[in-house]
Structure 1
Amino acid sequence: MFGVQEIDAASLQQKLAAGEKLRLIDVRSEGEFAQGIIPGAEFMPLHTVPLKLDDLKASKDPIVFYCRSGNRSGQACWFLKQHTGVEALNLSGGIIAWYHSGNQIVAPTKAA
């Protein structure tokens, strides 16, 4: 997505495996979230991102947004950058690319 920094699944997995602190945010719908997440991700549907700008701006850890394919998460990155100046990373290809790269998807630990 134009003007948005991206990270691929392999690079994200390397950062997580190295213990790098990242804030993983899943911007999919509640139903999609319930189907499985990247371990450690938090739920923030795309339509709620504008309501969370103060929280996101104050985040101490780098933010990585993801969705199903990378489109909605790219929108979240762009919106955050435009309204706060904070540059988040977009998981290129979304959770689909994550899964097809052989990475783990787990059930959410609590209801969305």
Structure 2
Amino acid sequence: MDSITAEEVKRRLEQGEQLNIIDVREDDEVAEGMIPGARHIPLYDLPMRLSEIERTDEIIVVCHAGVRSAKACEYLEYMGFSGLKNLEGGMLKWHELG
């Protein structure tokens, strides 16, 4: 599974790039903030909401620390998605960037 750093995601967003980001955290976690432009689909909802995920060349998956998003990447790959990237360190790393 490929990964991407929070620094790279932030840099690309600041350059105006439109990224396909899926946030698989729980509702209460998302209430604390999300990466701009991310789509919230909790991990437990993925099987029922696959049609909501745009099949782009790159799909960045994020959670709190990177464990659930890694599981989500594995599942999505099994379901035929490609270009999946796990955000290293998840939102913990994102918040460190300020």
- Measured against the shorter chain, the TM-score band is 0.7 to 0.9
Are positions 1:81 and 2:92 aligned together? no
TM-score, normalised relative to structure 2: 0.88
Unaligned runs of 5+ in 1: 103-112
The 2-side partners of 1:37 and 1:61 are apart by 22
Q: Is the 8 A contact 2:19 2:37 kept in 1?
A: no
Paired residues, number: 98
TM-score, normalised relative to structure 1: 0.78
Opposite residue 12 of structure 2, the aligned amino acid is K
Q: Output one character per residue of 1:56-75: Cα deviation in whole Å (capped at 9) or x when no partner.
A: 2x434632111100111111
The 1-side partners of 2:49 and 2:67 are apart by 19
Q: Is the 8 A contact 2:22 2:41 kept in 1?
A: yes
The 2-side partners of 1:10 and 1:81 are apart by 24
Opposite residue 43 of structure 2, the aligned amino acid is L
The 2-side partners of 1:19 and 1:72 are apart by 27
Q: Is the 8 A contact 1:6 1:91 kept in 2?
A: yes
Corresponding residue number in structure 2 for 1:11: 8
Q: Is the 8 A contact 2:3 2:87 kept in 1?
A: yes
The 2-side partners of 1:75 and 1:42 are apart by 17
Opposite residue 9 of structure 2, the aligned amino acid is L
The 1-side partners of 2:34 and 2:84 are apart by 19
2:31 aligns to what SS in structure 1?
helix
For 1:95-110, list aligned pairs within 5 A.
95-102=91-98
CA RMSD of aligned residues (A): 1.6
Q: Output one character per residue of 1:64-103: Cα deviation in whole Å (capped at 9) or x when no partner.
A: 111100111111111111111423111100000011122x
Unaligned runs of 5+ in 2: none
**Deviation, structure 1 residue 22:** 0.9
